[in-house]
Structure 1
């Protein structure tokens, strides 16, 4: 018997998508490394949904830091290990072949493209995109949360484009790392030290790879591009691994 699973990510779009769908299960892959305010949002959404969220976690790792340190690997040409270990593996262990998967892809152009790619990449899986079908953009989702009296995760107000882990080692934008340095200085310093230890240059300035602590102090924090963290990320990494 098929289940409708809404994959909640503690972000605005997935919350609205979940509210719009009468799912059998609301599931959340806990990486242990999101901003602490995401927990408040998670609990607010449980009350808003009127039902519990099923928390999935890879018990081998406490959080992304634990994974990076144990594997002594952050990110490279084959991607980052955190998406697969902390998001994909718990999901695969939980899902069943006939499940219908609800994702909060929005009607923004880039999201529509990703939704189409997801269907093409995983033709045996069943997907629903309630935000795209209703023409709801990410901005609209944030507006709807406000209208419904739900305070979105604070990272949006800080300027981050999503509510993913802090920090995300797949991000190469110096604007992103400059924003992390401004809003999460402890996490920035910890990553600067770990990336130096593992000799990983996470950002790129004027086409050249460099360590994040080499980003000038006055670097702008606007438009801090951060990659998505979903099944397509893992599919791209798997493709590179197979080459």
Structure 2
């Protein structure tokens, strides 16, 4: 069930903190058949969750859903296809058609460590479109499964609240890594040793997640130091994009921040070239990982 690119109005996020609830959504499905949607980010935890729902609910009642930003590392696609083959489920892909850079220019807003319009447009909006089409066109009631672990329960709460309030009707969310597997489980080891599937190369290179080919605008200082070390050409592409944006809109903005103000990738590169990149790899990132890591 592959979806075409569709445009719709944005929803407004109204996240609220609280606790994960066990609300019974069955009375709200209006007779629609439940379908279990694995929110596949291309990472290890979401891959294991996809395997879990297929084993529990069957392939005929499961969807492996991925939103493509068109910036993904090529090895991510290899990993996702091998996972899909292993669990016996085709990937359902939704694509806006724009890259994050095109979103930044369209919105006249450069994504940064605090706000990423790219994930709103390319991930969240495309997901909302897909879910409403499951209901309206296919008469299916989606139940979303995310690969978030116990150490990230606050993000699970945010996602639960978002899908409770932003769709036309509330959508149930489940977090098997929290609700079923009570301790953090080593999905990476299971996938590599038991499934025989090599993880995305970005994990081996030291990235905390495998999204957007290392160019995630919410990555922070340590992330971009690592990008400069392992993939300097991609760092250069990101630096050039930032410079194009600053010049076109005549705005003193940047992806990174330092001491509360703009800190361009060019400035950061010059520091790393002067002092050595190793001095910056341990820079603390007081940022929140992008929603892309979970959708």
Please give the range of the TM-score, normalised by the shorter of the 2 chains.
0.7 to 0.9
Kindly indicate whether the alpha-carbon contact (under 8 Å) linking 1:192 and 1:212 is maintained by their aligned counterparts in 2: yes
Tell me, which stretches of 5 or more residues in structure 1 are unaligned? 235-243
- 1:102 corresponds to 2:145: yes
- 1:6 corresponds to 2:54: no
What are the equivalent positions in structure 2 for 1:15-94 lying under 5 Å apart?
Answer: 15-22=47-54, 24-59=62-97, 61=98, 63-75=99-111, 79-94=115-130
Q: Separation in 2 of the partners of 1:81 and 1:232?
A: 15
Q: Number of paired residues?
A: 228
The structure-2 alpha-carbon separation of the partners of 1:184 and 1:232, relative to structure 1 and needing over 3 Å to count, comes to closer
The structure-2 alpha-carbon separation of the partners of 1:72 and 1:194, relative to structure 1 and needing over 3 Å to count, comes to farther
- 1:125 corresponds to 2:171: yes
Q: Deviations over 1:10-58 (max 9, x none)?
A: 1111001111112521111011101111011011111111121111111
Among 213, 216, 219, the residue aligned to 1:168: 216
Normalised TM-score (structure 1): 0.83
Kindly indicate whether the alpha-carbon contact (under 8 Å) linking 1:10 and 1:42 is maintained by their aligned counterparts in 2: yes
**Partner residue in 2 for 1:220:** 280
Q: Separation in 1 of the partners of 2:282 and 2:88?
A: 36
Among 229, 239, 243, the residue aligned to 2:290: 229
Shift of residue 230, structure 1, vs aligned partner: 2.2
- The RMSD of aligned alpha carbons is 2.6
Kindly indicate whether the alpha-carbon contact (under 8 Å) linking 1:5 and 1:101 is maintained by their aligned counterparts in 2: yes
Q: Separation in 1 of the partners of 2:113 and 2:225?
A: 23
* SS of the residue 1:99 aligns to: strand
Q: Deviations over 1:56-77 (max 9, x none)?
A: 1113x1x223333444432269
Q: Deviations over 1:86-116 (max 9, x none)?
A: 1112111111453100111112x2x112112
Stretch deviating more after TM superposition (115-124 or 30-39):
115-124
Q: Deviations over 1:178-206 (max 9, x none)?
A: 11111221221122122123232222334
Tell me, which stretches of 5 or more residues in structure 2 are unaligned? 1-32, 55-60, 136-140, 165-169, 247-252
The structure-2 alpha-carbon separation of the partners of 1:55 and 1:223, relative to structure 1 and needing over 3 Å to count, comes to farther
